[in-house]
Structure 1
Amino acid sequence: MSATADIHAYPQAEDAFAACADFLVDRLAAAVRARGIARIALAGGGTPRRLYQLLAHRYRDALDWQAVEFYFGDERNVPLDHPDSNFRMARLALFEPLGIQPHRTFPMISDQQRDPEWDADAYETALRRWTAGAVPRFDVTLLGLGSDGHFASLFPDTPALAERERLVVVNPVAKLHGHRLTLTFPVFEAARDVVFLVLGADKRRAFARIRDGKSERPAERLAAERTTHWFVDRAAAGAP
């Protein structure tokens, strides 16, 4: 097991969702108390939808949600109302139920929808507006784990893995026959807390490599470099 992987395994997915929600709310509330504002980079895809629904309903009175700013770790290059949009999923499951004001949410994709490089540059500019140093320090980054060991849109054997200067890049992913916008390694390395939510038997091999301290694939590399918090269900953990 990696010395920096703080692993929490639960019998069922719903238990992992609840524990992860508790952890996020605790960290965000602590940030609001300490600095008057909390900033989180959200994960996309299907896995965190239930987590966002829990936060929006069970935890709606647990902290001042209007003191939280919501960013994204990555995004598909699709319109904001597209079914595959990470922003759309978060808007429907989290922002609208909580009544989050639009100026507290920061989608990666803009309305211009022509030039992803323009969107990456604009997002980087938005991040640099509030950072006191070279790299912004999110209070929490929420991530998933791909079966190939990717996180956000930092896929194995893609150019974004080597980026150390830019905060946001357009990353071509050959196996997806397209590209994604993604935050880069320095942003995740700098976050106060990095949280992975990993569910399902299809993630078992990838998670086993984390547990065994491997460091070749993107998520393994991050776990080897800094403390990471893992919320997993029995299917992903491989427990009997």
Structure 2
Amino acid sequence: MKVNIYPDRQDVAQEFASYFAHAVKGRKEFHLALSGGSTPKLIFDVLAKEYGEKIDWSTIHFYWGDERCVPPTDEQSNYKMTMDHLFSKIEVPRENIHRILGENDAKGEAMRYANLLEINLDRVDGVPQFDMVILGMGDDGHTASIFPDEISLWEAADHCVVARHPETAQKRISITGTVINRAKEVVFLVTGGAKAEKARIIQKKAKGYERYPASLVQPKSGRLSWFMDKAAASQL
């Protein structure tokens, strides 16, 4: 595990954008699972403004690690956020954007998306393999849309599952831990002081760490990076 700490969220966005541009350079095809959240939004803005003409977007296929069960026009949609802050500002083939259809029946869509991953991605031991999975971490230690109260979903037999937000009961579709940990590379983007306690518990494997889904991110490739600001890393 490699931990990168920067002064603030904007610096995290700048540094990860540069890191990503280097990772995809020269690649003929790159399959990426995106995350929602405020930090990815900043990253998308940086990518669009500073790398819009430098990256060959036609080689990158975009997926999502999770999505809220809302229409693509809803302000809560991870797809809409990515469209507004990245896709609308760059030249990317529509066929390279593989969104989770949050407006559809959740169970059926989880099955469809799992099948899409099996078709589009190389499989290792029967598990679809992303080139990179970007993750966030909630104040409660959740990641993707696997929450502590449903941590058993992490090792579900299916590649995608239907999860529920513990407070709002909103349905979400999420890839599982098996898919996350099979990725060639996993990157956490964690910013803000509210994340500091869980970041410390998880990274230091302090008492009770295994209760948090984010602690289960252990890619078989060994390539796990955290991009954090000083606030999120303040207890490390």
> TM-score of the superposition, structure 1-length normalised?
0.89
Aligned to 2:40: 48
Contact 1:203 1:236 in 2 (8 A): yes
- Per-residue Cα deviation, 1:126-169 (whole angstroms, up to 9, x for no partner): 11112332111111111111111111101112141231x21111
Structure 1, unaligned stretches of length 5 or more? none
Shift of 1:224: 8.3
What is the rounded CA distance, in whole Å, between the counterparts of 1:12 and 1:174 in structure 2? Answer: 29
- Per-residue Cα deviation, 1:82-122 (whole angstroms, up to 9, x for no partner): 00000000011111101222211111116xx3411111111
Aligned to 1:127: 117
AA aligned opposite 2:120? W
Larger RCO: Structure 1 or Structure 2 (Cα < 8 Å, ≥ 6 residues apart)?
A: 1
Match of 1:136 among 128, 142, 153: 128
What is the rounded CA distance, in whole Å, between the counterparts of 2:182 and 2:145 in structure 1? Answer: 17
AA aligned opposite 1:9? I
Match of 1:220 among 200, 204, 215: 215
Contact 1:69 1:105 in 2 (8 A): yes
Aligned to 2:75: 83
Match of 2:154 among 149, 157, 161: 161
Structure 2, unaligned stretches of length 5 or more? none
- Rate the CA distance shift 1:120–1:205 in 2: closer, same or farther, 3 A: same
Match of 2:8 among 12, 15, 40: 12
What is the rounded CA distance, in whole Å, between the counterparts of 2:36 and 2:129 in structure 1? Answer: 20
Contact 1:150 1:219 in 2 (8 A): yes
What is the rounded CA distance, in whole Å, between the counterparts of 1:150 and 1:47 in structure 2? Answer: 16
AA aligned opposite 1:131? L
Q: Which moved more, 1:168-177 or 1:86-95?
A: 168-177
Shift of 1:41: 0.3
Instruction: Give 1:194-213 correspondences, 5 Å limit.
Output: 194-213=186-205
1:180 aligns with 2:176: no
What is the rounded CA distance, in whole Å, between the counterparts of 1:19 and 1:186 in structure 2? Answer: 28
SS in 2 for 1:129: helix
AA aligned opposite 1:218? P
AA aligned opposite 2:50? R
Shift of 1:223: 4.2
- Rate the CA distance shift 1:62–1:147 in 2: closer, same or farther, 3 A: same
Shift of 1:239: 6.8
Contact 1:24 1:140 in 2 (8 A): no
SS in 1 for 2:20: helix
What is the rounded CA distance, in whole Å, between the counterparts of 2:138 and 2:235 in structure 1? Answer: 19
Aligned to 1:116: 106
Contact 1:171 1:179 in 2 (8 A): yes
AA aligned opposite 2:155? A
Where does structure 1 differ by over 4 angstroms across 4 or more consecutive aligned residues? 223-226
